[in-house]
Homo-oligomer: A and B are copies of this chain.
Amino acid sequence: MSLRAAVSNKRCVSGLLSQLSSCSSHVRGRVPAVLVTQQRNNSTSPKIKVEFDQSRGVAIMQMQSPPVNSLSLDFLTELCISVEKLEMDKSCRGLIITSSQPKVFSAGLDIMEMYGKSPERCGEFWKAVQEMWLKIYSSNMVTIAAINGSSPAGGCLMSMTCDYRIMADNPRYSIGLNETQLGIVAPFWFKDTMVNTVGHRTTEMALELGLLYSPSEALKIGLVDQLVPEDQVLTTATQTMTKWLAIPDHARQISKSMMRKPTIDKLTSNREADIKNFVSFITKDSIQKSLHMYLEMLKKRKG
């Protein structure tokens, strides 16, 4: 989820209030997946668990932030530090990202990071979202998403940044950049990543409608690469990793960079402007009001 809309389009901003309150029902009647509130956990238990098998050179990164691995600033910071550590460790050649939470891979950005926060804090948050994308999309490691649950919005973005996507073949799960359904807009680098994955026309329709795809639909359009029964997602990821690691690292890395560099360069050379746009949008009174109403609605659902 991005909440970054073209600031120049004034109508979007003024129209968001009513849309946010009225459109949550479009999300297939499920728990709204884009804007999630993290159950605050005052403990300092880690949100990311990394198991590194030195002998195989493969790390498995479990996202374990209940209930739905929403991407808070703390979560993203911890995730980025973990990825960077593995990246620096030359003995680590492969990274599998998965979830320890039932039914969900990651539900996307944490709405609480955008509500009632100072512009400075909002900017810090957005920078962390960018950082997560940059780190994984440009990683020298082989990155495999073991998508063992729903993966909307920011969760879908994280999946798309990997080299390969294996999803649980459970029709109750879904994946997609569904921001539009909530009256908000995926930023250009979310869009670029999706175009690189499924092509221009599929992305156009997906973003215009904020589509969430079932696993079989996602396979058909190429949003994921493989479906397996739910209990085989991680083992299949491990087996797939072995095949990828049989390829000479450096040739694979250069090939990957050749494919992704133009997209990465586009964000890195516009990073500050992208943050500024996000902060300027998210701190508007009208948007904050929308978020307030949305949070109230979530409270009532839980009550």
Contacts and interface: CB of A to CB of B under 8 A. Distances in A.
A276 to B, nearest CB: 17
Nearest to A142: B208
A295 B185 CA distance: 51
B247 A180 contact: yes
Interface string A4-27: 011001011001100100010010
B201 A222 contact: yes
Contacts of A191: 255, 258-259
A251 B180 contact: yes
Contacts of A169: none
Nearest to A251: B180
Contacts of A208: 163, 244, 247, 252, 255-256, 259
Max chain B Cβ within 10 angstroms of own Cβ: one of A163, A180, A225: A180
A204 to B, nearest CB: 4
B163 A250 contact: no
A204 B210 contact: no
Interface residues of A, number: 55
Contacts of A6: 254, 257-258
Interface string A186-198: 1010010001111
Interface of A: 5-6, 9, 11-12, 15-16, 19, 23, 26, 163-164, 179-186, 188, 191, 195-201, 203-205, 207-210, 222, 225, 243-244, 246-260
Given A181-B247, A183-B248, 11 more contacts: A11-B250, A12-B253, A15-B248, A180-B251, A183-B251, A185-B255, A208-B244, A208-B247, A208-B252, A208-B256, A209-B252
Enumerate the 10 nearest inter-chain pairs by beta-carbon distance, A residue then B residue, closest first.
A12-B250, A19-B248, A183-B248, A207-B255, A180-B251, A204-B259, A15-B250, A185-B254, A183-B251, A196-B200
11 contacts: A6-B258, A19-B248, A26-B247, A180-B247, A188-B258, A191-B258, A196-B201, A199-B199, A207-B255, A208-B247, A208-B252
